[in-house]
Amino acid sequence: MISKDASSILEYFKAALNDLRVEAVPPENICSDDTFLEVDQTIKTIRAASAELGNGNLSHDIKGKGYVVGAIKNLQASLRNLTWITKTIASGDFSQRVHFLGDFSDAFNRMAEKLESSIRELEEARSHFEMVFQAIPDATIITKIDDGTLMAYNHAFMEATKFTDEDLTVGSFNICDLYSDHSQRESFIKKLETDGFVENLEFSFYGKDNEEHIGLISSKKIFIDSIPHTLSVIRDITELKAIEAKLQQSEERHRLLADNAADVIWTMDLEGRFTYISPSVEKLRGYTVEEVMTQSQEEVLCPGSLIQMHEGLARAVESVEKNLPFQVFRGELEQPCKDGSTVWTEATVSGIYNEDGRFIGMLGVSRDISERKLMEKEIRRLSITDKLTQSFNRLKLDETLEQQFEWSKTSLSPFAIIILDVDHFKLVNDTYGHQVGDRVLIELVAVLNENVRNRDVVGRWGGEEFLIILPDTHVTEAVVLAEHLRKAVEKYPFTTAGQVTISLGVSAFKTDSSPETIVSQADTALYQAKENGRNRVEVM
């Protein structure tokens, strides 16, 4: 049996430890005992410190001694340090790491590394977009639809209008002020709102020097932060229109200009027969003027471009028969050359009218854009390629995954994905340096590409993680391939690093899933593979 005094002491400590709402009163017979008072003070210190920590107050001054109080002080100091590190990460400094909170440290550091990798990938994607945007050879702008506020522009727009960066203050410059005729702006907005796009609409606009220009504008309605904008490409055809006017005034001047132009200038009737073609065609295609004048439509254009010609001729015939304005055509056409090769040209075609306004034919200008096509192809390759491994980057993987998902949703054909991660990759970097770590990733991609099928898509998901998209593949087949890849990597002698292993997570398309859930399931499977010892395959 516990004595009455002991029982009252225990009740006091029980209340003091367990219920902050109760003001515990110690037994009178031990209120002056030094040992009791020391224990009582320690309990009160623990109560107060625990309450403040529970409320998130890390500035509370914890006074006292002993193991438990010391442990609480250490916890408070660790939480203060963690708060400081979190603030440095929030400010963009990812150099700090947590090493003082046991199992939590690994999870926190992994989160920080993934956040740093995601930010780096976003910055890289943004720089790729800016590079592509600025490399567009024609004037390109992004404006708000409702008021015409200029939101973005490229160098070609500055060259066309002669405006400087100081003139084109984003957010305050209004594109509507450039229109010579505001009714053209109204027609443009009406067509954009009706169709969602505008293609080769002719309009007049002013540059900085107040010189009037004539342009062809092609636009598409886009949304930025849920606000409707328009992405517009403007082709300055002022010179072409001037040439057209001169051609209408004088056939001799027409011949003089056309025969000496670097671009191929030609005229054609509504049957698709050339009535004139400039000598520069021989430099472009290798055929003489006489040879081209006798060629059929099938000999002038490659099959894919021939379709565009037939559609353009049909529109031209309809416009003339209905006495409507000729719809200016602008497009990229592929033409066969005499040596068996092909050349890409940009063709602009407009109608020719006599002084009475009667249609008399079509005027075309064909420009060699082979170098531009090569540049666009290289820009496209760079925009979807990981700089280090030369595999596809996150942008391309997201695009391919979305396309594959939509295809499988429509056709009900299977597909699967594999997410894999290099085991102990941080140890490789710490032991051999980041250059060796980079080399491991490059060689890993080579091993993956050698062991997947031609139709499979391999890309860098981020950091040392890679994603493989497997079309027409059931989950059981994906697991077999994943195991094959794991063994191939395990056997491969990596330069300097020696043996390297990978962990892999597999998931597959389901009709009620989404691209995000498929990736999430594969990522969870990868985490299980790590937890279960690494160098293994798990499936969700």
CATH of the domain at 361: 3.30.450.20
- Residue 99 in any domain: the answer is no
Helix (H) or strand (E) holding 181: none
Residues 391 and 535 in one domain: yes
| Helix pair 67-90, 103-135: axis angle to 10 deg | 0
**Which two tokens mark 477?**
């087949």
Residue 366: domain span? 240-372
Residues 392 and 535 in one domain: yes
Residues 390 and 349 in one domain: no
- Residue 162 in any domain: the answer is yes
- Residue 78 in any domain: the answer is yes
Residues 465 and 409 in one domain: yes
**Which two tokens mark 298?**
């099938």
- Residue 93 in any domain: the answer is no
User: Model-level pTM greater than 0.75?
Assistant: no
Residues 509 and 403 in one domain: yes
Residues 224 and 290 in one domain: no
Residues 401 and 521 in one domain: yes
Name the domain count of the chain. Answer: 4
Residues 419 and 490 in one domain: yes
Residues 393 and 345 in one domain: no
> How far apart, in whole angstroms, are the C-alpha atoms of residue 122 and residue 112?
15
Which domain-ending residue is among 236, 255, 284? 236
CATH number of the structural domain spanning residue 421: 3.30.70.270
- Residue 105 in any domain: the answer is no
How do the pLDDT tens digits run along the chain, 540 residues long? 456 666 767 776 676 666 655 566 666 666 667 777 777 777 777 777 777 777 777 777 777 777 777 777 777 777 677 676 677 766 766 666 766 666 666 666 677 677 667 667 666 656 665 676 777 778 888 889 888 888 888 888 888 888 888 888 777 788 888 888 888 888 888 888 888 888 888 888 888 888 888 888 888 888 888 888 988 888 888 887 777 777 666 555 555 555 555 689 889 998 889 999 989 999 999 999 999 999 999 999 999 898 888 888 888 888 888 888 888 888 899 999 999 999 999 999 999 888 778 888 999 899 988 888 788 777 778 778 888 899 998 888 999 999 999 999 999 999 999 999 999 999 999 999 999 999 999 999 999 999 999 999 999 998 899 999 999 999 999 999 999 999 999 999 999 999 999 999 999 999 888 999 999 999 999 999 999 999 999 998
Residues 173 and 277 in one domain: no
Which domain-ending residue is among 325, 340, 372? 372
Nearest to 154 by CA among 137, 167, 173: 137
> How far apart, in whole angstroms, are the C-alpha atoms of residue 488 and residue 451?
8
Residues 349 and 415 in one domain: no
- Residue 277 in any domain: the answer is yes
User: What count of other Cβ atoms lies within 10 Å of the Cβ of residue 392?
Assistant: 23
The residue ranges of DSSP E strands in 107-159, in sequence order, are 139-144, 150-153
The full DSSP string for 49-104 is: HHHHHHTT---------SHHHHHHHHHHHHHHHHHHHHHHHHTT-------SSTHH
Which domain-ending residue is among 236, 254, 271? 236
- Residue 292 in any domain: the answer is yes
Burial class (CB in 10 A: 0-12, 13-18, 19+), 359: middle
- Residue 109 in any domain: the answer is no
